[in-house]
Amino acid sequence: MPERVYVNSLRRSIRTPLAPTSSNTYNPPTMPPRHLAILAPILFTILASCHHRWRPPTEHVQSPTPQTTINLTDYALFQTNIDLLYNVTRLPKSTDTTRQTLRLQGNQSQTGILINRTLENLTPYLAPPNGHPPQSIIWPEKQTETALFLSFDPPLPIAPKTIHANQPVNYESTVWLFNRHGYPVAKGQTTRIATLEGFESITANQITYPDCARLLTTTGFKFPWGTNITLTDYQWLAENVGPVCHVRNFQGTIFFVGFNQTHRHELIIRNPQPNQTLNGPTAWHRAAITLNKLLPNPNLTGLTIDMTRNPRPTDKP
């Protein structure tokens, strides 16, 4: 009986780590490899989402007086029925340059490629309350391309038509997230802050546009289960021309996967249609963010937006 007690106490001493004393050193237990596999994507997400966000220099910006007020309609921010062709470069400096057409047709704007097709209206691809989408998108078999569909209630304004210098304008809206097959999966909140930072001359495609209005808009999307997206947009607006240069930062996490990328758009060709108007719709109604992959790092390839003139509440899924 005494021998059995001795053996059990010896086993306990082997299983129990020694406390640090003056005569021995405490060695903590090593972390099993499976724990490292779990922590690796979490650490990657934290590092990616905390990466430095691009910001343009401010030394050449002409700070407006507090009394400065402009009408953004005069700067063609709300123009429709026009094709704008841009050179697109990924920042920081890269030789990867592509051309994208920002197509502003009626109540929709589209940049990049959405499943190799133009969708005239996003609403038929989103399920109504307790229903099924009237239409479906045929996705590539390899499933290398996906999209996040969004619906805003009430619609989210781009910016006010009249904006005062250095007086941020805030908007809030409920946003519904749909999967790529058009079914609602989450309800979240979105915020947008629009700020007129001043006036600045900008060179785009070797052409200098003087006294452009520099508009900053920051749009945040927050959903449960680790999906948070921030779109930071700097736009240089030339009077009666519109955005001649546009830098967009796309940052956040999608299903706990981190990403951070920035693209610079420089105007090449402005091709207005016969029914062009500068006084078009002013708010986001529906949107589709297109990604050509999700893992290991989401890559933004397109943004399609259904616009509306009247920011009324929309139907909820």
Query: SS in 3 state form for the chain?
Result: CHHHHHHHHHHHHHHCCCCCCCCCCCCCCCCCHHHHHHHHHHHHHHHHHCCCCCCCCCCCCECCCCCCEEECCCCCCCCEEEEEEEEEEEECCCCCEEEEEEEEECCEEEEECECCECCCCCHHHCCCCCCCCCCCCCCCCCCCCEEEEEEEEEEEECCCCEEEECCCEEEEEEEEEECCCCCEEEEEEEEEEEEEEEEEEEEECCEEEEEEEEEEEEEEEEECCCEEEEEEEEEEEECCCEEEEEEEEEEEEECCEEEEEEEEEEEEEEEEEEEEECCCCCEEEEEEEEECCCCCCCCEEEEEEEEECCCCCCCCC
Torsion, Cα 123 126 129 134, to 10 degrees, reads 80
Whole-number pLDDT of residue 40:
44
Whole-number pLDDT of residue 112:
65
Q: Give the whole-angstrom CA distance, residue 207 versus residue 205.
A: 6
| pLDDT one-digit tens code per residue, 166-181 | 899 999 999 999 988 8
Whole-number pLDDT of residue 200:
94
Spans in the chain with pLDDT lower than 70: 1-54, 58-59, 93-97, 103, 105-106, 112-119, 140-144, 293-296, 310-317
| pLDDT one-digit tens code per residue, 192-217 | 999 999 999 999 999 999 999 999 99
Taken in order of first residue, the domains within the chain and their CATH numbers are: 70-134+141-308 (2.40.360)
| pLDDT one-digit tens code per residue, 121-156 | 888 889 988 889 988 877 766 666 778 899 999 999
Whole-number pLDDT of residue 316:
46
pTM greater than 0.85: no
Whole-number pLDDT of residue 121:
82
Whole-number pLDDT of residue 43:
45
Chain position carrying tokens 């490292």:
36
Whole-number pLDDT of residue 129:
80
